Structure 1
Amino acid sequence: MITWFTYVEVAVAALGGLLCVILGLAGRRPSDLTVGILALIELLLIVQVVIGIVAPLTGNPPTGSLLEFWVYAVSAVLIPPAAVVWALLERSRWSTVIMGVAALAIAVMVWRMHVIWTVQGA
C-alpha cells in the first residue's frame, strides 16, 4: 500500500462521513453532495484495490495476512453503493446519517488495511 494514499483515503472518508452525519442530524435528506461524497470514496477504494493488486508484483508485499486484507478491501468496496441505494430508497434525514456512518466505517477499514499491509510482522 502507498502510505500517502492511505492518509488521503482516511481523511476523505472521515471528513465526508462527519459532514454527512452533521447534515443528516441537521435534517437534510440525501443530496448530490452526500451521494457525491460516497462516490468519491468509492473511486478511492477502487484505486486502492488496483494498488493492492499491483503492489506485490512490484516488490511491496503485505506483512500481514493477505486474505484478511482482501476481505477488508472487498467489504469496503461494497459499503458505499449499499449505503447510497439504501439512502435513495428511504429518502429521510436518517439516510444521510447512515451514509455518514458508512463513510466513517470505511475510514476505519482503510486504516486497518494499512496496518495489515505494513505493520504486522511474521
Structure 2
Amino acid sequence: MIEWFTAVQVIVALLAGLICLVLGFIGKQPNDLTLGSIVLVELLLIAQLVVTIVAPTVGNEPSGSLAEFYIYLISALLLPVAGAFWALIERSRWSTVVLGVVGLAVAVMLYRMGQIWFVQGTP
C-alpha cells in the first residue's frame, strides 16, 4: 500500500460521498456526475487492489493482519458496484443519497485499511 495514494483515495471518496449526499438531499436523481464519481472511487479501489497484491512482494508488508485488510478491501470493492446498480435500477433522489453513503463508507474503510497497513501492530 502506498500512503499518499491511500490519502488521495480517502479524499476522492469523501468528495464523491459529499457531492452525492448534497445532490440527493436537494432532490436530484442519479446522473453522470454522481455515478461517475462513484465509478472513479471504484477504479481507484481496483488500482489499490493491484498495488496491495504487488506491495508485499517488493518488501512493503502490512504491519497488521493481511486477512483483515483484504476483507476490508473486498468489501469496499463491492459497495460502489452495489450502490451504482441500485442507482441505475431505482432512479430516485434516495438512490443518490445511497451513493453518497457508499462514498463515505468507502472513505472510512480506506482509512481503516491504512491503519491496518501502516499503524496497527501484529499481536
TM value normalised by structure 1: 0.98
Q: Which residue of 1 aligns with 2:32?
A: 32
Task: Kindly report structure 1 stretches of 4+ aligned residues shifted beyond 3 Å.
Answer: none
Backbone CA RMSD of aligned residues? 0.6
Query: What is the total number of aligned residue pairs between the two structures?
Result: 122
Following the alignment from structure 1 to structure 2, what is the Cα–Cα distance between the partners of residues 96 and 65?
34
Q: Which residue of 1 aligns with 2:121?
A: 121
Following the alignment from structure 1 to structure 2, what is the Cα–Cα distance between the partners of residues 71 and 38?
20
Deviations 1:77-96 (A, max 9, x none): 01101001101111100000
Q: Which residue of 2 aligns with 1:42?
A: 42
Following the alignment from structure 2 to structure 1, what is the Cα–Cα distance between the partners of residues 66 and 19?
32
Q: Which residue of 2 aligns with 1:102?
A: 102
Identity %: 59
Q: Which residue of 1 aligns with 2:4?
A: 4
Following the alignment from structure 1 to structure 2, what is the Cα–Cα distance between the partners of residues 90 and 120?
40
- Structure 1 residue 121 displacement after superposition: 1.6
Q: Which residue of 2 aligns with 1:14?
A: 14
Following the alignment from structure 1 to structure 2, what is the Cα–Cα distance between the partners of residues 65 and 121?
8
Runs of 5+ consecutive residues of structure 2 not aligned to the other structure: none
Q: Which residue of 1 aligns with 2:81?
A: 81
Q: Which amino acid aligns with 1:28?
A: K
- Structure 1 residue 44 displacement after superposition: 0.2
TM value normalised by structure 2: 0.98
